[in-house]
Amino acid sequence: MSSSPHDDHQPAALPPPRVEEVSDGVYAYVQPDGSWWINNTGFLAGRRGVVVIDACSTERRTRAFREAIGKVSDRPITTLVNTHHHGDHTFGNWLFPEATIVGHEGVREQIIADGMPAYRAAWSPEVEWGRLELAPPFLTFTDRITLHSDDLRCEVRHVGHAAHTTNDSYVWIPERRLLFSGDLVFNGGTPFVLMGSVAGTLQALEQLSELGAETVVPGHGEVCGPEAYEPVAAYLRFVQETARRGRQAGLTPLEAARESDLGEWAGLLDSERIVGNLHRAYAELDGQPLGAPIDVVTAVLDMITYNGGRPLSCLA
């Protein structure tokens, strides 16, 4: 029998976001508990200006992020890097009007194509999105771009294929052995590859492993080290195996999820993502190219069904 998705996700338990200095002048902005729409960001506080890595999902959360930056540095925010297009990392872009917004060409294209996506309605109606304006990157790259915070080199590298999405990049600071992974890494939450690729994310994790990072700021969850890669990879291999068994049994992704025991993965936040991940894994079993368009609306509705017909839990 399947493991029941948990819905004991109550807002009273959430601690406030915090700034964590992960290297000299380099900060992670960690937002517990890292579940739906609650992401991590970061910034580098240089002598001449501040480089920011990702925005937040709501107006309130992004304004709080800006206030936290201001308590660390009085320098202007010169640059905002988007690791991928998802709204938890980009909806707040518009609140950085003074900054050059940098991202992969696919980030700009997808933000413009999606607009303010209707699938936001799938999450809890209590979410206070606030004012939202489209603000896609206007300095784009195809492979990689290098930024400098004073003399500190920051390499923004596209993974080269679909992974968490079709347009993921990470920020690698080689001098500090420090990685901002974006959503290629979830620490304590269920990885989500519906809009990307299961196989592609496994390849991306191999790419990250070759960097030799000592400190990793994941897209969601606590700051960690490279030991966080393997749980993500193991979960994705579980998704692939579940998809193979489900396909052989003639089950839909939703049926396969319901028939599966999540086992060691049952305790991860947002366990209903198994359904969306299986939709993607089925597409790959069918020979679809990595990241090929699939029916996202149906997949999200199936996640809601798996969740007991309730909107997906979100405390943003």
- Number of independent structural domains in the chain: 1
In this prediction, residues 266-285 reach a mean pLDDT of: 98
Q: Is residue 87 part of a domain?
A: yes
Low-confidence winner among 59-73, 121-135, 167-181, 215-229 (lowest mean pLDDT): 121-135
Q: Is residue 71 part of a domain?
A: yes
In this prediction, residues 144-168 reach a mean pLDDT of: 98
In this prediction, residues 271-282 reach a mean pLDDT of: 98
In this prediction, residues 63-67 reach a mean pLDDT of: 98
Q: Is residue 276 part of a domain?
A: no
Give pLDDT, residue 119: 86
Q: Is residue 249 part of a domain?
A: no
User: Quick check: 9 pLDDT over 80?
Assistant: no
Question: CB neighbours (10 Å) of residue 208?
Answer: 22
Of 135, 152, 33, nearest to 94 by C-alpha is 135
User: Quick check: 203 pLDDT over 80?
Assistant: yes
Q: Is residue 264 part of a domain?
A: no
Percentage above 90 pLDDT, the chain? 93
Give pLDDT, residue 209: 98
Q: Is residue 57 part of a domain?
A: yes
Q: Is residue 255 part of a domain?
A: no
Range of the domain at 224: 18-237
Give pLDDT, residue 10: 54
Cα 60 from Cα 47, distance rounded (Å):
28
Q: Is residue 212 part of a domain?
A: yes
Instruction: Please state the pTM of the whole predicted model.
Output: 0.96
Rounded alpha-carbon distances, angstroms, from residue 280 to 2, 136, 202, 283: 20, 26, 13, 5
Instruction: Give the CATH number for residue 165.
Output: 3.60.15.10
Degrees, nearest 5: CA angle 254-257-259: 110
Degrees, nearest 5: CA angle 210-211-212: 95
Burial class (CB in 10 A: 0-12, 13-18, 19+), 100: middle
User: Quick check: 152 pLDDT over 70?
Assistant: yes
